[in-house]
């Protein structure tokens, strides 16, 4: 990369990390839409800051945006309480009205100034390296200085209010009861959101701000359950989004800010599919493993009951008759690898290990039937179905507790023997 490319990517990284840090708390508090609303509603604050100061950047612009961000949160809650409408509806009314007001103010009062809504929406990140200032003798883009300062301020605020923000994000009621006003913390978070939004507006535009406020944090939430790790992962994802977005924009000759937002979305899609715990693939594999375990246990139970009746040996085709041949093949092969069954030609029988596991299942099933009859008063012909479901989720400890509670019954409600546990 050349110098211009490096500065452009750095602007994207600084904006992305700042937004993603605030975004983690917005996502945890289920306030992602409010972050989106604030990123639009601060526009009249920017316009008012310009009208008061006559400058298109500086403290007046930042303060105007932060005040408007807090005002958006306050008006949303006040309107929802006053007219008894859903909070998302009041949010829609407030932020669209404020955003429209900002567009009107810019169009009427600042029509001859380079402060147009299009710049706010799409950003001019490609041109930030050309607007420089001198920093310790080095020419540095103004956007880098602004966003670096904003990021440091956000980090300082998170460090100083770490315990309070963490508590209010997970349990606002507990936070208030311990003396940490969740309302005050709410408005502090809204002010931070407004501050990082206006700092990034001119450089990267509203579209990328909204994406970075929500997407890296939502992606990180799929990858970890710890807040500290979530902040680090979200920052890393924002950095990768800026790098991949710039490379993609150069390759396809398109908007850099837009491509950074797309890259962030692609990373989210990847995590949604492949996250080790909450990803779609992981959940599908977990469900498949559970289904196969239940099928294996059903086969063991069937073989035990058949052996109990002293019936003839069962064939592979007679097991799991309502399942596909692929599922039957996977189930029987798995049982054979675990040495729970013995396959001779086309017949299947239990091994010693399979017998012990089958005893646990049958014991669980018949104890649950006994429990349901005694405590739920189900008729005898209604006991099998719920017990068949529960037998797959009862461990040895719960099974022993259940037997003790039932005073170690010898028979189930159908008169069948309840086997003793063989491998305590």
Can you give the CATH number for the domain in which 336 is found?
Answer: 1.10.10
114 secondary structure, DSSP code: S
Report the residue count for the chain.
424
Looking at the fold, whether 337 and 222 belong to one and the same domain comes out as no
Looking at the fold, whether 301 and 338 belong to one and the same domain comes out as yes
Is 383 contained in some domain? Answer: no
Looking at the fold, whether 177 and 205 belong to one and the same domain comes out as yes
Looking at the fold, whether 327 and 240 belong to one and the same domain comes out as no
Is 371 contained in some domain? Answer: no
Query: What is the span of the domain harbouring residue 108?
Result: 3-275
Looking at the fold, whether 310 and 242 belong to one and the same domain comes out as no
Is 395 contained in some domain? Answer: no
Tokens at 285, concatenated: 């594999």
Looking at the fold, whether 91 and 152 belong to one and the same domain comes out as yes
Q: Which of 350, 376, 391 is the last residue of a domain?
A: 350
Task: Round to whole Å and give the CA distance between 350 and 355.
Answer: 6
Compute CA 271 distance to the chain's CA centroid, rounded to the nearest angstrom.
10
Per-residue pLDDT, 394: 86
Question: Crossing angle of helices 352-375/396-405, nearest 10°?
Answer: 40
Is 407 contained in some domain? Answer: no
Contacts of 282 (CB under 8 A, 6+ apart): 274, 275, 276
Looking at the fold, whether 176 and 322 belong to one and the same domain comes out as no
Is 220 contained in some domain? Answer: yes
Task: Round to whole Å and give the CA distance between 323 and 31.
Answer: 45
Per-residue pLDDT, 124: 75
Looking at the fold, whether 207 and 328 belong to one and the same domain comes out as no
Give the residues across from 315 on adjacent strands: 347
Is 384 contained in some domain? Answer: no
Looking at the fold, whether 259 and 289 belong to one and the same domain comes out as no
Looking at the fold, whether 327 and 265 belong to one and the same domain comes out as no
Q: Which of 248, 275, 302 is the last residue of a domain?
A: 275
pTM for the full model? 0.84
Per-residue pLDDT, 117: 52
Is 266 contained in some domain? Answer: yes
Per-residue pLDDT, 43: 79
Looking at the fold, whether 258 and 299 belong to one and the same domain comes out as no
Per-residue pLDDT, 210: 87
Task: Round to whole Å and give the CA distance between 239 and 245.
Answer: 10
Q: Which helix (H) or strand (E) holds 344?
A: strand 341-344
Do residues 18 and 151 touch, judged by C-beta distance below 8 A?
Answer: yes
Is 67 contained in some domain? Answer: yes
CATH of the domain at 52: 1.10.3470.10
The residue assigned the tokens 């509670």 is: 405
Q: Which of 275, 292, 315 is the last residue of a domain?
A: 275
Average pLDDT along the chain, 424 residues, taken 10 residues at a time: 90 96 93 79 81 74 80 85 81 88 78 56 79 88 92 96 92 85 86 84 79 95 96 98 96 91 96 96 95 94 90 84 88 95 90 93 94 88 91 88 92 92 61
Looking at the fold, whether 180 and 205 belong to one and the same domain comes out as yes
Total domains in the chain come to 2
């Amino acid at each position: 990369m050349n110098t211009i490319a490096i500065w452009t990517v750095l602007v994207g990284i600084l904006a992305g990390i700042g937004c993603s840090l605030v975004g983690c708390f917005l996502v945890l508090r289920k306030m992602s839409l409010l972050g989106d609303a604030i990123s639009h509603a601060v526009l009249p604050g920017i316009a008012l800051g310009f009208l008061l100061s006559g400058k298109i950047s500086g403290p007046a612009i930042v303060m105007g945006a932060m005040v408007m961000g807090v005002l958006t949160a306050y008006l949303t809650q006040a309107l929802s309480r006053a007219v008894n409408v859903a909070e998302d509806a009041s949010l829609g009314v407030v932020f669209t009205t404020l955003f429209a007001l900002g567009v009107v103010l810019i169009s009427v009062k600042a029509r001859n100034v380079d402060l147009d809504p299009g710049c706010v929406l799409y950003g001019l990140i490609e041109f930030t390296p050309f607007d420089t200032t001198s920093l310790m003798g080095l020419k540095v883009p103004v956007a880098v200085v602004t966003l670096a300062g904003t990021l440091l301020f956000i980090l300082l605020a998170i460090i100083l209010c770490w315990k309070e923000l963490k508590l209010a994000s997970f349990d606002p009621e507990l936070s208030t009861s311990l003396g940490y006003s969740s309302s005050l913390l709410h408005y502090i978070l809204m002010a931070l959101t407004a501050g990082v939004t206006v700092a990034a507006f001119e450089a990267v535009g509203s579209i990328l701000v909204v994406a970075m406020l929500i997407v890296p944090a939502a992606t990180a939430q799929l990858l970890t359950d710890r807040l500290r790790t979530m902040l680090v992962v979200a920052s890393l994802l924002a950095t990768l989004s800026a790098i991949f977005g710039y490379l993609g924009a150069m390759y396809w000759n398109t908007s850099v800010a837009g491509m950074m937002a797309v890259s962030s979305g692609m990373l989210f899609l990847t995590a949604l599919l492949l996250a080790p715990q909450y990803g779609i693939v992981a959940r599908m594999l977990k469900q498949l493993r559970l289904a196969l375990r239940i099928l294996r246990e059903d086969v063991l139970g069937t073989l035990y009951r058949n052996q109990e009746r002293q019936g003839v040996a069962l064939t592979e085709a007679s097991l799991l008759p309502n399942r596909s041949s692929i599922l039957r093949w996977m189930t029987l092969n798995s049982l054979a690898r675990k040495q729970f069954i013995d396959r001779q030609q086309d017949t299947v029988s239990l091994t010693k290990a399979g017998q012990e596991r089958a005893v646990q299942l049958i014991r669980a099933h018949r104890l649950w039937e006994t429990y349901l009859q005694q405590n739920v008063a189900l008729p005898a012909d209604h006991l099998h179905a719920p017990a068949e479901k529960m037998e797959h989720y009862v461990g040895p400890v719960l099974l022993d507790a259940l037997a003790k509670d039932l005073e170690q019954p010898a028979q189930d409600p159908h008169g069948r023997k309840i086997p003793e546990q063989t491998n305590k």
